[in-house]
Structure 1
C-alpha cells in the first residue's frame, strides 16, 4: 500500500479507527481505480460499475446519519475524499455530487417522507442523484438564476436550463433549484419526468472520467410535495455547496499527494548522467517543495475537519481551505510533471491528468475570486462581490 508523506507524522494525529477507514478506501482505490483510470480517462468514461462497490464501503452520503447512510465523522469523510481523489478527481466528484450535494439537500431540507423515499436507495447506490444549481449565464451568481417554478393547478411547472451538472445524464433523480414567487426553492425531480433532458458535455480536456451535463427543463410538471419544504432562498443550496467544498479541501491534497509520490519514485529510479535523478539539487528542491505543500495542505484539511466535527467550522474557513489547497495542489501536480520529462504528458503517469482535473475542481463550487472575496468579507466586514 502506497505510503503518505511522513515528514510531519500526520498519522499520529489520527485515531486508529480513522486510519483503518482511510486504508480501506485506499486499498479500494489502488485495486479498483488506479489500474483502470488511464483507460477511463482516455475514453471519457465514468465507470458506473464501481458505484455498488462504493456503496458497500459506505461512501455514499457517508456523513449523513440514518436512512442507510454510514453516519461517519467529517474527518472520516475527508480522508475518504483524499484517497478517492488520489485515484482521480472524477471519482471523488461522484461521491461529492451524490452525497454532499444531492443527498445532503434532501437530508438537510427535505420532509421525512422525501428522506425515506430517496435516501436509502441513494446510499445503496441504486439511485444516482444530481444537483442542478449552476446555469449557463449565472455560474458564480446564482442569485440571478433564470430557471423558474410556478404553481399551476396544484402542480409545480419548471422551465429553464442548467449547465455543468455532474451525473445528470445517468441520474434517476435531480435536485433542481428555481426561482418562485416565494424566492429560490429546491425541487426533487425524477429524471424520467417529461420535459427533463440531460445532455452530456463532450470534448472536455478535464474531468474526463466523469459526467457533466447541460439540463433543459421544458414545462416539467411536478406534484406540490416535490418541493423541499425546509429550504427558502439561497441559503439552502449554499449549505449543500459548503459540504462539497469541504470535501474538495481534502480531495485536492489526494491528487497532490499521488503526484508527489509518483515523482519521488520516478526520480529515485531514473538514472541521468550516471546517478539517480533524485541525487540532483534542483530535483530535491522540487521534491521538498511538493512534500511541504502536501503536508501543510493536509494539516489544514485535518484542522478544518476537527472544527467541523466540533460544530465550529465557518463558511469563510471552508473558503480558506478550498482556495489554498486547490492552488497548491495544482502547483504540486505541475511540478511533479516536470520531473517526469516527456513521459509526464502520457497517461502512463498521473500528475498531468491530476493537474488537468484540478483546473475543474478549482473552478467548481466557487472560483478563486469568489473565495477570495468571501475571505475578504470575513476580514473586513465588507462584501465586495458587486
Structure 2
C-alpha cells in the first residue's frame, strides 16, 4: 500500500480523499515509503543493537525527509507540517519504527523554530535537517511519568551557566542524541511557572551520562534510554525562549502537535494491519475454504474496516484544523486517546485472525501488536488525555 495514495483498504466504501494532501505531500509520502521499505532488511540487526545505524540519519537528510516543515533559511524543507506527517505516516504504514524521526523532526525541531532565538535556530536546525545532529526531548522522569508539573530535575543559575542535576527516563533517541531539549525546574517555589527548557549539547559535556538502553516490549529497534545529569553546566544562551519560567507554557502549546502525529501513526497502523490481514485470510486455507470465507472473519473485518475508516476521517479533520491553526488541545487529546485505543482493538482482532502465526515476530502483524501498546502511554497517557478533555467540557 502506498503512503502517497488516497485510496484506503476499504473496498466498497468508495474513494476517500484526505483534504490535507496535495501532489507535493503525496510525492513526499511515496519517497518516504520507499526509503523505509529499503530499511526493512536491517530491522533484526537494529532490534538487536537497539538503534539504527548512524548513516540512516544523514541518508534521510540527503533525501529531504528530515525537518520537512522547517524553513529553508534554517536548512529545512520549507514545507508545511503536512510534509512531516506524510513521512511519519509512511513509516507507520511500512512498519519500520526503529528510526526516531518523529521526535527529532516533529517535536524538537518545532520547539526550536517556535521558541528559539535566531542564533539558536541557525545553530541547531541545519544539523538536524541534514541528519548530522540527532535530537531528543527529555521530559519524563523516573518518579513522574506524565506529571510534567512536578519535575525534579533542577537547573540553578551560576554566572553565565545553569548547573543541572537530575535524571530522565523513557527518552527516545536518548542513547545517541547530540542535542537534548531538557525540561528543568529553574525555580522550585514557582510551580509550573518555575519550569524552563534548556538545550543541551551532549558532546564534551562533563557530568552528563547515558544510562541503560531500556529493554522494551515493542519498538525494539528504537533507542530509548535513561539520562543522568550531575552538575552539568549549560550556557545561559541555551535557555529556550530567553526568559526563565516559560517551559510549561511552551510544552502545553506544543504537545497537541505531538499528539496529532501519534494519532496519525495509530490510524496508519490500523490501515496497514487491515491490509495485511485481508491478504492473509484470503490466502490461508482451513476446513476446505479460505479463512476469509468464514462468516465470523467477514464480520470482524467489517468491524475493523468501519472503525479504521472513521478513525481516518477523524484524524484528517484534526490535521486540517491544525494546518489551519484551529486545532485546540482538547480535540488533540481526543484524537490521541481514542485513536490509539482503536489501534489496539483493531490490531488485536487482526492478530486473532492470523491464529498462531499472529504471535510470531516474523510476521508483521505480531510486531505491530507489540509496538501498538506504548501508543496509549507516551505523549501523555490516555488517562491524562481524558482529563484534558473533561476539563474542557
Q: State the TM-score, normalizing by the size of structure 1.
A: 0.92
1:127 aligns with 2:138: no
Between the aligned partners of 2:169 and 2:79, the Cα distance in structure 1 is 31
Q: 1:4 aligns with which of 4, 8, 16?
A: 8
Aligned-residue offset at 1:218: 0.1
1:46 corresponds, among 44, 52, 59, to 52
Q: Following the alignment from structure 1 to structure 2, what is the Cα–Cα distance between the partners of residues 36 and 325?
A: 29
Q: Check conservation: 1:262, 1:349, Cα contact below 8 A.
A: no
Unaligned runs of 5+ in 2: 188-192
The match for 1:185 is 196
Q: 1:329 to 1:148 in 2, by over 3 A?
A: same
- 2:180 touches 2:201 (CA, 8 Å); kept in 1? yes
Matching residue of 2:190: none
Report the Cα offset of residue 39 of structure 1: 5.0
Instruction: Assess if the C-alpha contact under 8 Å between 2:68 and 2:81 holds in 1.
Output: no
Partners of 2:346 and 2:180 in 1: CA distance: 35
- Cα distance in 2, alignment partners of residues 339 and 87 from structure 1: 20
Deviation larger for 6-15 or 59-68: 6-15
User: Does the 8 A contact of 1:301 with 1:321 survive in 2?
Assistant: yes
Q: Which runs of 5+ in 1 are unaligned?
A: 380-386
User: Which of 282, 297, 301 lines up with 1:287 in the alignment?
Assistant: 301
Tell me which of 187, 190, 204 is aligned to 2:216: 204
Q: Secondary structure at the match of 1:291?
A: helix
1:68 aligns with 2:75: yes
The question of whether the paired residues in 2 share the 8 Å contact of 1:319 and 1:374 is answered with yes
- RMSD between aligned alpha carbons? 2.0
Distance 1:8 1:184, change over 3 A: farther
1:287 and 1:264 map into 2 onto residues whose CA distance is 8
Say whether the 8 Å CA contact 1:198–1:214 is kept in structure 2. Answer: yes
User: Is the contact between residue 47 and residue 209 of structure 1 (CA under 8 Å) also seen in structure 2?
Assistant: no
User: Hey, what does 1:225 align to over in structure 2?
Assistant: 237
Partner of 1:355: 369
Q: Equivalent of 2:332, from 314, 318, 324?
A: 318
TM-superposed deviation, 1:134: 0.8
The alignment status of 1:138 with 2:144, answered yes or no, reads yes
> Is it true that 1:170 corresponds to 2:172 in the alignment?
no
Helix, strand or coil: the match of 2:97? Answer: helix
1:12 is displaced (CA, Å) by 6.5
Tell me the equivalent position of 1:382. none
Does the aligned pair in 1 maintain the 2:170–2:226 contact within 8 Å?
A: yes
After TM superposition, the structure 1 = structure 2 runs for residues 10-21 of structure 1, keeping only pairs within 5 Å, are 10-11=16-17, 13=19, 14-21=21-28
| 1:250 is aligned to 2:227 | no
Match of 1:61, SS? coil
8 Å CA contact 2:84–2:105 kept in 1: the answer is no
Q: 1:369 to 1:185 in 2, by over 3 A?
A: same
User: 1:95 aligned to 2:101?
Assistant: yes
- 1:177·1:186 contact (CA, 8 Å) conserved in 2? yes
Work out whether residues 46 and 98 of structure 2, in 8 Å CA contact, stay in contact via their aligned partners in 1: no
Cα deviations by residue, 1:71-120 (Å, 9 ceiling, x for unpaired): 3233333232221112337346x112111222222112111111101100
Distance in 1 between residues matched to 2:28 and 2:161, nearest whole Å: 45
Q: Note closer, same or farther for the CA distance 1:84–1:125 as it changes in structure 2 (3 Å cut).
A: same
Q: Distance in 1 between matches of 2:119 and 2:49?
A: 40
1:244-273 alpha-carbon deviations (Å, 9 max, x no partner): 211111111122111111111110111111
User: 2-side partners of 1:12 and 1:134: how far apart?
Assistant: 34
Match of 1:81 in 2: 88
TM-score (norm. length: structure 2)? 0.90
Q: Tell which deviates more after alignment, 231-240 or 302-311.
A: 231-240
Tell me: higher relative CO, structure 1 or 2? Use CA pairs within 8 A at least 6 residues apart: 1
Distance in 2 (CA, whole Å) between partners of 1:59 and 1:280 is 43
1:306 to 315, 320, 327: 320
The 3 A distance-change label for structure 1 pair 200 and 54 is: farther
